[in-house]
């Protein structure tokens, strides 16, 4: 396999028109979403009409379609091979599951102690790593698809088994240690598993069926040269659709209470930046190549906002401060992680030159 870690940015690959101006399209999508939410207040009610429990169906469809093409490109047979690096995995799980939740807890208490609802929402958001959009950020930064798929699968299982325990530890034990009243959050393993299945299981199953079935019927060459290029634009189109949707749902609140948005956004920006940079340099120290390091770093820095929003709405209500913080999370995560994609390429040129 040719090592192209050190290829200059201009030679990474021939970018399509949509890819070349991705950052511009994302910020335009954010602005369009805010304008829709602000100037057409009834739009949020219309979108929320298509909800089943705490799952918004248009948002779920957007996320599923967004992840389908990158997962279809994954050679699932190679996942055991790329995960057979105990040193990298050990650092990854320690930073993701020990450092990450504690860092988010600390930032939430530091910045939002006087706003307990927002503080609680951020703490909940920090209890589980991202299992959806991380696949897209990894794809945009040209990370290792097999490694990110394997990490996401393992993290999903850990979430199902330990999210409730983490909630109990941070909200009922840790908060009182800082002089803050503890909170009880009851969320069943079934609810967590359902969220994981919707946002990860469905695109995973669809990708596996597509890859195995189409290669068997049409051959691997057709699959790589015809099918993959055909479905690849779906990721970015779905990403833009999802961004418009997310921002339109809270467009009015973003404009009416911008300082609250800023208060929530500030600790989140610190979290994303610290986690990404920390994991990247630890991965570099542990011997990860660029593609592996990107997969490790984005896995550590993203959060499972779908689960956080579902828990916050289910426990505290749809109009709660916790739910609002949960919604602001992905609104901050999108531009922040797009910036980290660019940082990843800068790190690539700086630290992975021959």
| Residue range 130-189, pLDDT digits in tens | 877 788 899 889 999 999 988 988 888 888 888 888 888 998 889 888 888 877 666 677
Q: What's the rounded Cα separation, in Å, for the pair 227 and 330?
A: 30
Which residue matches tokens 């530890």? 169
> pLDDT tens string for the chain (354 positions)?
334 444 444 444 555 656 666 778 878 888 999 999 889 988 888 888 887 766 778 888 888 888 888 889 888 887 888 778 889 999 999 999 999 999 999 999 999 999 999 999 999 999 988 877 788 899 889 999 999 988 988 888 888 888 888 888 998 889 888 888 877 666 677 777 877 788 778 888 999 999 999 999 999 899 989 999 899 888 888 888 888 887 888 788 788 888 998 999 999 999 999 999 999 999 999 999 999 999 999 999 988 877 787 777 767 766 678 878 887 888 888 889 889 999 999 999 999 975
339 token code pair: 């910036």
352 token code pair: 């992975």
The predicted structure's pLDDT at residue 11: 46
The predicted structure's pLDDT at residue 285: 93
- What number of other Cβ atoms are within 10 A of residue 265's Cβ? 19
The predicted structure's pLDDT at residue 20: 64
The predicted structure's pLDDT at residue 14: 52
pTM comes to 0.80
334 in Cβ contact with 30 (< 8 Å): yes
Please spell the DSSP secondary structure of 114-180, one letter per residue.
T-HHHHHHHHHHTTSB-SSHHHHHHHHTT--HHHHHHHHHHHHHHHHHHHHHHHHIIIIIIHHHTT-
In angstroms, how far is the first alpha carbon of the chain from the final one?
16
31 token code pair: 């602005």
The predicted structure's pLDDT at residue 1: 37
The predicted structure's pLDDT at residue 2: 39
State the Cα angle at 318 between 304 and 198, rounded to 5°.
40
Q: Span 54-347: which CATH code?
A: 1.20.1530.20
């Amino acid at each position: 396999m040719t090592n192209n870690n050190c290829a200059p940015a201009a030679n990474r690959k021939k970018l399509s028109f949509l890819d070349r101006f991705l950052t511009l399209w994302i910020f335009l999508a954010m602005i369009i979403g805010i304008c829709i939410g602000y100037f057409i207040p009834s739009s949020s009610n219309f979108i929320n009409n298509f909800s089943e429990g705490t799952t918004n169906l248009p948002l779920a469809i957007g996320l599923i379609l967004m992840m389908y093409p990158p997962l279809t490109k994954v050679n699932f047979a190679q996942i055991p091979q790329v995960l057979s690096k105990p040193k990298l995995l050990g650092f990854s799980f320690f930073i993701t599951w020990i450092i990450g939740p504690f860092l988010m807890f600390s930032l939430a208490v530091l910045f939002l102690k006087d706003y307990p609802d927002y503080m609680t929402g951020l703490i909940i958001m920090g209890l589980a790593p991202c299992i959806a959009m991380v696949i897209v950020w990894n794809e945009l930064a040209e990370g290792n698809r097999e490694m990110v798929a394997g990490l996401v699968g393992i993290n999903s299982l850990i979430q199902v088994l330990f999210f409730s325990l983490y909630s109990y530890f941070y909200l009922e034990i840790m908060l009182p240690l800082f002089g803050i009243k503890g909170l009880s959050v009851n969320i069943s393993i079934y609810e967590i598993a359902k969220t994981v299945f919707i946002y990860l299981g469905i695109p995973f199953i669809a990708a596996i069926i597509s890859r195995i079935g189409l290669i068997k019927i049409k051959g691997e060459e057709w699959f790589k040269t015809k099918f993959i290029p055909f479905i690849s634009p779906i990721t970015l189109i779905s990403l833009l659709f999802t961004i418009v949707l997310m921002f339109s749902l809270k467009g009015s609140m973003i404009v009416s209470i911008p300082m609250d948005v800023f208060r929530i956004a500030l600790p989140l920006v610190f979290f994303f930046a610290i986690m990404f940079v920390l994991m990247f340099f630890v991965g570099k120290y542990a011997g990860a190549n660029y593609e592996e390091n990107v997969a490790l770093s984005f896995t550590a820095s993203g959060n499972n906002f779908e689960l956080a929003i579902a828990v916050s709405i289910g426990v505290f209500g749809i109009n709660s401060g916790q739910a609002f913080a949960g919604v602001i999370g992905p609104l901050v995560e999108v531009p922040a992680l797009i910036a980290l994609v660019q940082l990843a390429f800068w790190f690539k040129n700086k630290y992975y030159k021959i």
